Structure 1
Amino acid sequence: MSVWDRPEPPAPPVPLDRQRIVAAAIALADEGGLDAVSVRKVAARLDAGPMRLYGHIATKQELFDLMLDEVQAEILPEEQPADWREALSVLAHRTRQAALRHHWLADLLGGRPSLGPHGLAVTEATLAALDGLADIDTVLRAVETVAAYFTGAIRREIANLRAERATGLSERDWQRAHGPHVTRMLATGRYPTLSRAVHDGTDVDPDASFATGLDWILDAVAAKLTGPPA
């Protein structure tokens, strides 16, 4: 058979490794959230058969674990600040920035500890910031308190961004749309404190709100580390 008549051999399978699989899964999640991620969809993104992925991951939860660990690499600063307060602040702000780049990260924060290399490194950096300043139980409670604050704040912010995407209304547009209803309800006099907050409270942007709340939490931690005056 001449070369002109002989069909070309089939193309070799697309090379796969965990790094490519995780990168494809993160891209899908960035586009459509965690619901957009499945072994089948990741395989399609990689132009590979789903069964080939099971040689690298056993379950979708394992895939989520790998995605979380990959993004946690973005949280670690190149250099750890020497001051404990600055160190915890940097980690909190970098976690928020990672979540703003990857909204799905908010859904995975606050669960069981991440045991991947980057997740363990974030935990080590967090604990190391307070190492030697108090007993280990106090350090653990302090870390849990800071994490509880920024996890809740990040989830709330991401929820608002998702609402904007779903409705097409910005926060300001939403407030204007519901303004007449709120005005009527406040005029009843049943909500005096809320009325004062609406009319007299200062509206701050998400950056300032997050930073202020974090400073208050760190003030509380500092008070515990310092202890009552002798």
Structure 2
Amino acid sequence: MRFSSRPAKLALVTAAAATAVVATSTSASAASFTVSAKVNKSDCTSQSSPYKWWGGGPSSASAYTYRPRGTVVICYYKYRIADSDRRYDYWAVSIVSKWRFSDGDPKAGARMFQNIKSNVGARSNVYAATPTHKSNRTCSQTFDVAVQVGFFSATVSPRICKGYTVKRSSYSSKYARYTSAKAGGLRVVDTVYTQKVPKGVVPKYNLSVGVPRYEFKWTGIWNVTSRIVYINRNKF
């Protein structure tokens, strides 16, 4: 997959607040919207020197050998949504993390997180975030997940192996938090958060991805301890 910083494409999608799986393809991109949206800012971590990740199963003599591992590249996108509202503006931000699985047992534990937090609370209770989604596709297929917010919908295109889930563990008028227990089954985690704010206000977002880097200690067997390292992009 190649990440793009070009403006989001328009998508003719009618979505309810629940998950909507509407298409299959072999690539993934940033969020798309049913109205005009302009990329206000975008950024990516290094693709030539990606972050390494590794997890670990239950403590055992072979836990280190079979630990799931790979690399991850992270991209961030901030959007200004076109509207005719004289009192309010609409903004969206998305995180796209691309996970490469290189070796080990993909079913072993390797918990990851993806967090979005705004410095401005949404007005009139108008906000939305990508819901929990479970894949029924192969590791090479994307699927669309849409969410409705106000007068438009926002769609992301994750790529997750069959049977694996990205859970929206919590969200509010200022933040959304996601997690998955097994990074070995992830290929692209794509989440978007949208909100209505006062006219002229430009929200600043603190964005983070929690990368698994489990600890191993040999005591006759490998004792495994969960450890998460956060990659932060603040005031985005």
> TM-score w.r.t. structure 2 length?
0.27
Q: Larger relative CO (CA 8 A, sep 6+): 1 or 2?
A: 2
Q: Which structure's residues are more often helix, by fraction?
A: 1
Q: Which has the larger radius of gyration?
A: 1
